[in-house]
Amino acid sequence: MLKEYQLRSTKTRMLSITIVLVLFGQLVSASEDDKALISTLSEFSQRLYYVIGRREANIVFSPHSVHSLLTLTSKGAREPTAEVMKEALGITSLGDLVHSTYQDISSEVRYPENVQMGLGNGIFVKAGFTIDENFDQDAQSYYAAAVENINLGYPGGPEIPINEYIAMETQNYIQDLLSQGTINDNTRMLLVSVLLFRGSWKQEFDREETVQQTFHTDISATKVLDMMHDVRTMRIKRDDNNQVDVGELCFEGDTYCLYIAIPQRIVTFMSLENSLTQPNSVSSLFEGLNDVYVELVVPKFKIETQLNLKSALTELGFGDIFEEDNADFSGIGSSDLYINDVIHKAVFEVTEVGTFATAAKVDDGSRKSLSTSPPLERFIVDRPFIYFLRNKNTGHILLQGKFYG
C-alpha cells in the first residue's frame, strides 16, 4: 500500500478529512444484500445535492466517496457521536453489516471489467498518535484504507508523500493536490479517498461530427459549446407527468452508464432538482426507458469541483462531529479527535470516446448526414441537465452532478 512513503507524525486536536475523486468517463455491480445500502446511498446523494447543488452552476461529486469515508469514520465513533453519524448517513437500521456490505460494493468497484478503475483510501495520522489496532484492520479489510503516519519533517513538506500517493492512484492525472501548508501542527488526521475511472463509450461519437452550437443556459441566455452528434438507437424515456426526459449512454461492458435527466423546459429545472429529494424519485428516473432510434446531440464538457463540506454536512445533521467538545472518535484511537473539515474533489469529463478531449470545428452548415434513415425522435441536450454515473445492474450511483453550460 503506502508503506514506501514512510509516513510518520505527532499530535494535535484536529481531524481533517480530504476526499479526492477522479472520474474520466464511467463505472460496476452489486448483490441482493447490497440493495438497502445502495438505496440509502442514493437518498444521501440527493440530500447532499440539494444542499450543495444550488451553490454551483456546474458541479460533480461522488456520493460513494463521501458516504463511504464517513461510514468508515463512524466505525471509530462512540456514543453519542456514533448515533449522530449513523442517523445522518441513514445507516442506523443497517447495523454493523453496513461495513461488510461496503466491502462487497467496493470490491466490485476495484475490479471492474472493460474499464480502468483505481480505488485508494488512506488514513494519515500524526506521528506519536497510535491508531487502534482493530480500527486499522477494519479500515483495511472493509474499505481498503491504508493507515499510516504523517511525517511532518518530510523534505519539502508532509503533503508531498500524500500527493505522490494520489498521483500514483490516478495515473498522474492529479498532482500536487495538497498545497504546501495544508498539513500543519493542528492537523491530527487526514483521510484521502481516490477513485479513478477511465472508460470508453460502448458506441463512440464521430469526432468529425462535433460542432459548435448554441446551448441555452436560461430562457434568454445562451452559450456556444462543442456539441457531439450521432444518430443511433439508445434507451430513453419521456416523462410528461414530471416534465423530464432521460437518456442512457453506456460504456464498454454495458454495466456503467451515464444517465442524463433533462427538463422538457428550462423553467422546470428547479422543479426537477426539488423532486430529487422525494422518496423513490431518483430510482424512478431510471425506470421505463426504451430503445428508440434518435438524433442525439450532447455537449462535450469537463467539470472540476472542490468542496469544503463542513457547512453542508452540518446542515445535514453531522454538526457534532465538527465540535471539539462533543465529538468522540475514541474508537479510532483517542477521544480528543474531532473533524476539522471534509474536502471533496471530483473531476468528470465527457468526450467523443469517453475520456480524451479532441478538437472541435465550427458548424458551417456543411455537416454531412449521419445516416440515410431518418431518426424516429430527437434527444437534444441543449439546456441544463442533471447527470448520474450509475451501475445499471445494481442502481449504485458513483457520481452525480449538474451541467449549466
| CB 404, CB 384: distance < 8 Å | yes
pLDDT reported for residue 378: 95
Which of 404, 396, 405 lies closest to 35 in space, CA to CA? 396
pLDDT reported for residue 237: 96
DSSP 8-class letter at 71: H
pLDDT reported for residue 202: 93
Which of 286, 342, 350, 295 lies closest to 20 in space, CA to CA? 342
Sign, Cα dihedral of 108, 111, 112, 117? positive
What is the full DSSP assignment across 307-375? EE-HHHHIIIIIGGGG-TTT---TTTT-TT--EEEEEEEEEEEE-SSSS-----EE--S-PPPS-SSPP
pLDDT reported for residue 372: 57
For the stretch 163-185, pLDDT in tens is 887 788 777 877 777 788 888 88
The C-alpha atoms of residue 150 and residue 165 are separated, in whole angstroms, by 13
For the stretch 4-23, pLDDT in tens is 444 433 333 333 344 444 44
Confidence (pTM): 0.86
Provide long-range contacts, Cβ within 8 A and 24+ apart, for 312-319: 312/48, 312/51, 312/52, 313/70, 313/88, 313/342, 315/51, 316/47, 316/48, 316/51, 316/88, 317/84, 317/87, 317/88, 318/70, 318/84, 318/85, 318/88, 319/84
Cα first-last separation, the chain: 39
For the stretch 51-94, pLDDT in tens is 998 778 899 888 888 898 899 989 999 999 999 999 999 999 99
Which stretches of the chain drop beneath a pLDDT of 50? 1, 3-30, 356-369
Cell triple for 360: 472541435
Residue with cell 463511504: 68
